[in-house]
Amino acid sequence: MTIQRTFSILKPDATRRNITGAVNAMIEAAGLRIVAQKRIQMTQAQAETFYAVHSERPFFGELVEFMTSAPVVVQVLEGENAVLAHRDVMGATNPANAEEGTIRKVHALSVGENTVHGSDSEENAAIEIAQFFSGNEIVG
């Protein structure tokens, strides 16, 4: 059994529509524990740093604008194979391609306004968690 941590964001389309509880219920039903969570207004600098890997993509400006357009909820999730388990419950990036019953199939509005972010590897999870949480804010 491999207990992992992963990083999650409930994006502005989720806070705007007041569906953060509904999304958290799906996360918890997938066997993941929310071991840290806070609602923040992301700054432009934070969003640009977080998504630096996408800085050359044509949608980068739109992505930063969206992520700073309303509060987000940043989270640390813990569980067995948490990175993959979270990616499974999120569904495909584009909700049009997401499996039935996934968060993005149920709630996402578009590929940009896609409700949730999740780390793509354990290595990136550690980097992303460290951008938003100090160790004593994570209580497993």
Q: Which of 49, 59, 65, 80 binds ligand CMP (CB under 6 A)?
A: 59
Distance of CA 98 to the CA centre of its chain: 16
Query: 54, 86, 107, 117: which is the annotated catalytic residue?
Result: 117
Helix axes 82-90, 122-132, angle to 10 degrees: 80
Max CA-CA distance within the chain?
A: 40
Site string for ligand CMP, 79-98 (x = CB under 6 A): --------------x-----
Q: Is 31 in the site for ligand CMP (CB under 6 A)?
A: no
Active site residue 117: yes
Of 50 and 133, the one with the shorter C-beta distance to ligand CMP is: 50
Q: Which is nearer to ligand CMP, 71 or 112 (CB)?
A: 112
Tell me the C-alpha to C-alpha distance, in Å, between residue 104 and each of 27, 33, 94: 12, 19, 8
Single-letter amino acid code for the residue at 13: D
**Catalytic annotation, residues:** 117
